[in-house]
């Protein structure tokens, strides 16, 4: 592993300067990535859908997100007369802040992080859950029934998917032996996706549900709830909620890249480039799924978490724990192929087992 100069908090000054500089950098990083993600998503979706996507504003439509933001910001900021004004104001902020806070413990470059907490994983799980309150509030405060349904769905979804998410992360933590993100990345001589394929699948799907991405985008549910939680928002607040959506995607892809794809590690290229590449790869898969799958119904979405993801995550956790206790010195190169085979077998068997739909159905002959 090549060594990189760590950007340490030994600034000429004190901890506050460090927090200020890195904090501002993180927010700037988030905003730039969000803009890039919006561009990637719109162009990518366009390609998936046999159309071009935005290509007028700037070269390759790169400035489209800016044009849209300018448009949104110049819109009238409407607050419904019967809305809960305080919560209506608070909701976008409450949704945005936790997303930024998650980034604080992610090493973008070895040493480049706001705080290297020794309880990083716990911190991420705790903070990322708070963002849901913001989304819930935004659905509730607008005093709109669609928004309220979206808010309730969001809450139900979070409660269901938080559990498999945590269990999937726990097995990673067992492998690392630490809750610190830095050590988690350092432990990935082999990316954990190879060692923990089942954990990766569970974590990825649960993340999709937590950030309300298709096929779990029940909170927005364009065709049912007419964009759900943010239905009453306009102007700056809507822009913030829109940014929150993509920030969540950014953070989700950062987390997947850090926990399972080896974070900033990789040969030749600078670490941050590797991290960005992995993030974009994860986000591409997210777009791919969005362009492919219809949306699940709410009971199906929750049932999927409790009936399928949770047992798989538990199974994965137990086997990981047993391996860690009884075969602690097993080479990764032995474990990885076995795990991948097991995961593939489990998924194929699972798919056979759980045929959706109803019985007594005969295929209609064309």
Partner 1 sequence: MLKTEPFILNIGPQHPSTHGVFRLRATMDGEIMTDVEPVFGYLHRGLEKLMEGRTYKENIPLTDRLDYVSAINNNWPYVLALEELAGISVPARAEYIRVIMGELQRIASHLLAIGSLMNDMGAFYTPFMYMFREREKILDLFSMVTGQRLLYNFMRFGGVSHDFPAEFLPALDKLLRTLPGFLDEYDALLAENEVLLGRTKGVGRLSAEMAINASVSGPVLRGSGVRWDIRKASPYSVYDHLEFDIPVGTIGDTYDRYRVRMAEMRESIHLIRQATQQLPAGKTMNNVPLRFRPPRGEAYAQVEAPRGALGCYLVSDGSETPYRCHFRAPAFLNLSALKEMLIGQKLSDAIIIFGSIDISMGEVDR
Interacting residues toward partner 1 by CB under 8 A: 45, 48-51, 145-146, 149, 152, 214-215, 217-218, 221-226, 290-300, 351, 355-358, 360-362, 364-366
Cβ proximity to partner 1: between 83 and 225 the closer is: 225
Give burial (CB, 10 Å; 0-12/13-18/19+) of 300. Answer: middle
Ramachandran quadrant class, 180 (left: phi over 0; alpha: psi -120 to 50; beta: rest) = beta
DSSP string, 18-32: HHHHHHHHHHHHHHH
**Distance between CA atoms of 303 and 112, rounded to whole angstroms?**
40
Q: How far is the CB of 345 from partner 1 (least distance, A)?
A: 18
Query: Residue with structure tokens 């199906």?
Result: 300
Cβ proximity to partner 1: between 46 and 266 the closer is: 46
Helices 15-48, 64-73: axis angle to 10 degrees equals 110
257 near 134, Cβ under 8 Å?
Answer: no
Q: How far is the CB of 187 from partner 1 (least distance, A)?
A: 35
Both tokens of 150, joined, read 């979206």
Q: Which residue from 221, 222, 228, 232 is spatially nearest to 298, judged by alpha carbons?
A: 221
294 near 220, Cβ under 8 Å?
Answer: no
Q: How far is the CB of 312 from partner 1 (least distance, A)?
A: 16
Cβ proximity to partner 1: between 154 and 217 the closer is: 217
274 near 197, Cβ under 8 Å?
Answer: no
Cβ proximity to partner 1: between 2 and 366 the closer is: 366
37 near 246, Cβ under 8 Å?
Answer: yes
Q: How far is the CB of 299 from partner 1 (least distance, A)?
A: 7
Q: How far is the CB of 281 from partner 1 (least distance, A)?
A: 20
Q: How far is the CB of 2 from partner 1 (least distance, A)?
A: 41
Cβ proximity to partner 1: between 102 and 296 the closer is: 296
**Distance between CA atoms of 291 and 297, rounded to whole angstroms?**
17
**Distance between CA atoms of 131 and 245, rounded to whole angstroms?**
11
Cβ proximity to partner 1: between 76 and 365 the closer is: 365
**Distance between CA atoms of 336 and 199, rounded to whole angstroms?**
12
Cβ proximity to partner 1: between 288 and 333 the closer is: 288
Q: How far is the CB of 245 from partner 1 (least distance, A)?
A: 14
Cβ proximity to partner 1: between 11 and 48 the closer is: 48
Q: How far is the CB of 241 from partner 1 (least distance, A)?
A: 18
């Amino acid at each position: 592993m090549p060594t990189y100069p760590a950007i340490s908090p030994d600034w000429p000054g004190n901890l506050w300067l460090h927090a200020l500089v890195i904090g501002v950098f993180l927010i700037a990083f988030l905003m730039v990535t969000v803009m890039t993600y919006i561009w990637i998503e719109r162009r990518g979706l366009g390609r998936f859908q046999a159309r071009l996507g935005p290509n007028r504003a700037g070269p390759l439509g790169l400035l489209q997100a800016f044009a849209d933001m300018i448009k949104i910001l110049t819109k009238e900021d409407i607050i419904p007369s019967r809305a809960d004004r305080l919560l209506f104001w608070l909701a976008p902020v409450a949704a945005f802040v936790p997303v930024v806070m998650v980034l604080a413990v992610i090493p973008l470059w070895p040493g480049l992080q706001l705080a290297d907490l020794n309880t990083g994983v716990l911190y991420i799980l705790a903070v990322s859950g708070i963002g849901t309150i913001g989304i819930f509030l935004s659905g509730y405060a607008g005093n709109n029934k669609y928004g309220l349904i979206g808010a309730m769905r969001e809450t139900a979804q979070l409660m269901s998917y938080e559990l498999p998410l945590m269990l999937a992360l726990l097995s990673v933590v067992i492998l690392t032996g630490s809750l610190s993100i830095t050590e988690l990345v350092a432990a990935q001589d082999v990316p954990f996706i190879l060692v923990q394929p089942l954990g990766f699948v569970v974590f990825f799907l649960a993340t999709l549900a937590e950030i309300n991405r298709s096929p779990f985008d029940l909170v927005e549910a364009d065709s049912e709830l007419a964009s759900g939680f943010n239905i009453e928002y306009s102007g700056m607040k809507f822009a913030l909620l829109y940014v929150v959506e993509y920030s969540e995607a950014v953070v989700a892809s950062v987390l997947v890249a850090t926990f399972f794809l080896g974070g900033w590690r990789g040969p030749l290229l600078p670490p941050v480039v590797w991290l960005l590449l992995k993030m974009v790869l994860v986000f591409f898969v997210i777009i791919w799924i969005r362009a492919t799958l219809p949306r699940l119904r709410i009971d199906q979405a929750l049932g999927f978490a409790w009936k399928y993801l949770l047992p798989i995550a538990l199974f994965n956790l137990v086997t990981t724990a047993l391996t860690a206790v009884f075969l602690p010195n097993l080479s990764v190169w032995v474990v990885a192929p076995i795990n991948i085979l097991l995961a593939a077998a489990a998924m194929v068997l699972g798919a056979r087992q759980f045929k959706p739909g109803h019985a007594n159905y005969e295929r209609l002959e064309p």
